[in-house]
Structure 1
Amino acid sequence: MNADLTEEEMRRALFGSTEPEEVPAPPTPQPAPEVVFTKPVSTPSPKKKAANSFTPRLRVTLMVGNEFEGKMIELVHDADTLSSLLAEQEAVKTARKKYKYVEVVSVKSM
């Protein structure tokens, strides 16, 4: 390394040149052709249901009735879920709309 550098050479080595560099101007953009998007006219088609090979289902069996310690009816509710707790809650909620007393007997996978 050369130890006989002048102050100007040291500044240029550390900070770069003090003269502004020539920066080429960016090319002017060419005007793009105007494109108008239109919505295609189509007849409304019925929505197609996705074909599922397996739908998780649980069968909830309930004993329901409107009289306390009276006649009870067995009610079966099918729920589209894997959670037994959600299936049970859904079945009880729908049974409460018609019956006063609801007792869950079983929750089984179908």
Structure 2
Amino acid sequence: MNPEFTEEEMRRALFGSPAVAEKISDTPADASQSDIEPAQPMNMHQKKKIAKTFTPRLKVTLRVGNEFEGKTYEMIHEADTLSTLLAEQEAVRAAKVKYRYVEVVSVKSM
């Protein structure tokens, strides 16, 4: 490296010279104020529309019952996650509200 370069010359060599940005006007010159209408005030109680996007879903199949080694029922729970562990935990938590014994049979993607 040549010790004769100044800091400014090194910066210019690395990053280039600073370009002058053109100033752009916010409003066009030919637009008139009479064409612009005031915006309506937004209602705060209005619900926002949510765009329907793809949500990953897992289907958890459970075997549930209230008697030990007694009659069991098959229950299906749909979870909005990609994690099989979270889907399984969510399904077991939901089934424990109504049933005492819960067994996970399978976790499949939909």
Deviation at 1:46, TM superposition (A): 2.1
CA apart distance, 1:51: 2.4
- Residues of 2 paired with 1:69 and 1:45: CA distance? 52
Give the equivalent residue in structure 2 for 1:83: 83
User: SS of the counterpart of 1:89?
Assistant: helix
Residues in 1 aligned to 2:108 and 2:65: alpha-carbon distance in whole angstroms:
22
Matches within 5 A, 1:1-110: 41-43=41-43, 44-52=45-53, 54-110=54-110
Secondary structure, in 3 states, of the residue corresponding to 1:91? helix
Task: Give 3-state SS (helix, strand or coil) of 1:48's partner.
Answer: coil
One-letter amino acid matched to 1:81: T
Residue 97 of structure 1: how far off its partner (Å) = 0.5
User: Any stretches of 5+ residues in structure 2 without a counterpart?
Assistant: 1-39
Distance of 1:42 and 1:103 partners within structure 2: 50
Count of residue pairs brought into register by the alignment: 70
Q: Calculate the TM-score normalised by the size of structure 2.
A: 0.60
Question: Percent of aligned pairs with the same residue?
Answer: 67
Shift of the alpha carbon at 1:41? Answer: 2.7
Q: Which runs of 5+ in 1 are unaligned?
A: 1-39
Larger Rg: 1
